[in-house]
Structure 1
């Protein structure tokens, strides 16, 4: 290894004071000192263009390290603040763990505004008022279903970014009715976090759909060393469509199962259920079956007593007999990957072991 072209990685300790983390990040973004590692990074050296190293957990649960330049992070932060019309001196709150790119983005956006984010991880007492925050759908659900402290905090913000997983239309409508100014985001670690807000690409970002129907992204927000197509687009694993310039995410390309010879989109199943059950947490997943190839199962948390009957009727009416779930499961909590994505693999394993 040519150490002259490498940069040492310094892991960030989430227990550090926020001011110390911000000072270290400010230096890293101007190539002063080491690159910073957020999450379970194992690399000790990276190329000199790397300012931040983050870990990303895909749908399989496997960790991978993503290398982000200062240019990518700053382009993302500037575009985000511009979309929100954020002014210098305004504040963000930190409600996400520093193991996730969305939390890193809150730090960089705050640097751009000349402020220190209010770290609410483990915070005691009433949350202070801030201008902006970023959360995942599970947190939004919690705020709307009993966490009054969080609800007040979200209601008082000028904008609440919600990403990390699909936001159901029912939950979004409930949030809007509660006075929360939701901004839906789409992105991933490879795109320096959210790069599409409310369906529209941020300033400097281009979004298109590949011939195979996959969402592809280009722009200054892309991570280092990505595998790009011949026209320098990063092709994601997500299916989508553009309607009048607005991106609609249809789900992951690998979320379509085949049951009894019929294709079933787990994302479409969940979207249909969410329209009637915005107050319930649930997930559609597949279990291997000798008879069907794959069986459609649905797991739910705190669902009403007639949940299975209502969902079965709803799906039969909307999609036909092929979308009838083979089993329903009541859980205390859904297993998650990272900070917001449901671990469908873990659900399937539990179902096959008859632990659900």
Structure 2
């Protein structure tokens, strides 16, 4: 059994909302796309398996293109577990693109709550536009809570504006994800009275399924050779047109179906700490250096909450970490700070100063473009 796959322009969030609502009710499956995002090499199919309600295209910041197929059951299970973890259904401000899973999650949770999200004006995200959307947000007895979902750079812009900060402080929870949230940014939010909830997840898990390091609902975690695996009702069906990738990424073990995240992690007392991509480890002078962990410590430094750490070839060491930032900082200060936390091998070899960091439309750093900047130096 199949059903048609309808492609919609993600620049019209309300049209995507209506399309998603129909898909969740058993109508045509939905594929939201953005005009400013490069198309995948192959066109999407006209029809998809009956269980598929939503298809999310993603190239990621480092990987190759894929189409993640999600069922209505997975999306609704994730929404229900998230509502329970946050304290109940609510009304949402939509500040993220609706061709990415985080923006689609806002729509799904709005549909479940029977509310219509308040939209941040399209275009470049500004604190003023967010404050305006927050002022327009309507709450009612059935969904009395206020929620939004942001990426770290958006949260930082809000915190730089007094009116937007005051508006955000009225929210019951602010989901912050898409990338690691620097500790200084979390502290700023907390000091401003904002309940920021750091999230971890992927399109393959119907979005965030780990809040503040704790899996919600019936989500289970496992570490296999240092890689984080996730299990739960929110897992995707797989990848459209790519059975090989589906089989290698979604595996059955002990009778349970697991998603291999490709991320390195540690767990302690039930709390998950993601260290970065397993394939984003450099061997520097014979020692393994996780670039994501180096980046996390660099972002602890003042003004560096958006800095990116990438790799560069070295005749002496093999590969070395390099910091790319739009905010000037002394290299020795960076090296001393990282060495104190991670050792000599993790010290960045250079700081590359740029006018602006290349970004993806979802607000994440475009790591391939950033790596190219370092290669061109």
The TM-score normalised by the length of structure 2 is 0.84
> Could you report, residue by residue, the CA deviation over 1:213-270 in whole angstroms, capped at 9, with x for unpaired residues?
1111111100013432232211110111221111111211112111222221212212
Q: Does residue 29 in structure 1 map to residue 51 in structure 2?
A: no
CA distance in 1, matches of 2:276, 2:131: 38
2: distance between equivalents of 1:101 and 1:142?
A: 22
Other-structure match for 1:181: 195
Instruction: Give how far 1:275 is off.
Output: 2.7
Give secondary structure in 2 for the equivalent of 1:342.
coil
Find 1:272's aligned residue among 275, 288, 297. Answer: 297
**Contact 2:93–2:133 (8 Å) recurs in 1:** no
Question: Could you list the runs of 5+ residues in structure 2 that have no partner in the other structure?
Answer: 34-38, 123-128, 138-145, 239-245
In structure 1, what is the Cα distance between the partners aligned to 2:106 and 2:367? 28
Shift of 1:344: 3.2
Q: Take 1:326 and 1:50, find their aligned partners in 2: how far apart are those partners? A: 47
Distance in structure 2 (CA, Å) of the matches to 1:153 and 1:63? 37
Report the secondary structure of 2:353's partner residue.
Answer: strand
When structure 1 is superposed on structure 2, of 332-341 and 230-239 the one drifting more is: 332-341
Q: Partners of 2:263 and 2:68 in 1: how far apart? A: 18
- The DSSP-based 3-state class of the residue aligned with 2:9 is coil
Assess if the C-alpha contact under 8 Å between 1:171 and 1:278 holds in 2: no
Q: Which runs of 5+ in 1 are unaligned?
A: none
**C-alpha displacement at 1:178, in angstroms?**
1.7
Check whether the contact 2:118–2:133 (CA below 8 A) recurs between aligned residues.
Answer: no
Q: How far does residue 152 in structure 1 lie from its aligned partner after superposition?
A: 3.5
Which whole-Å deviations, capped at 9, do the CAs of 1:167-192 have from their partners, x for residues lacking one? 12221111111221101111000000
Pairwise CA RMSD of aligned residues?
2.1
Give the whole-Å Cα distance in 2 for the aligned partners of 1:112 and 1:99: 19
Find the residue that maps to 2:105 and give its secondary structure.
helix
Could you say what secondary structure the match of 2:229 adopts? strand
Deviations 1:78-117, CA, capped at 9 Å, x for gaps: 1111111124xx3101000111001111001011111011
Q: Is the 8 A contact 2:222 2:230 kept in 1?
A: yes
Question: Contact 2:303–2:327 at 8 Å: present in 1 too?
Answer: no
Q: Where does residue 219 of structure 1 map in the other structure?
A: 232
Q: Which stretch shows the higher mean deviation, 90-99 or 315-324? A: 315-324
Between the aligned partners of 1:223 and 1:280, the Cα distance in structure 2 is 32
Counterpart check, 1:63 vs 2:65: yes
User: Could you tell me which residue of structure 2 aligns to residue 140 of structure 1?
Assistant: 155
In the alignment, what sits opposite 2:279? 254
Contact 1:97–1:121 (8 Å) recurs in 2: no
Residues 77, 318 of structure 1: alpha-carbon distance in 2 compared, 3 angstrom cutoff:
closer
The answer (yes or no) to whether the contact 2:221–2:230 under 8 Å persists in 1 is yes
Normalised to the residue count of structure 1, the TM-score between the two structures is 0.89
Which residue is equivalent to 1:45?
47
Is 2:309 the partner of 1:289? no
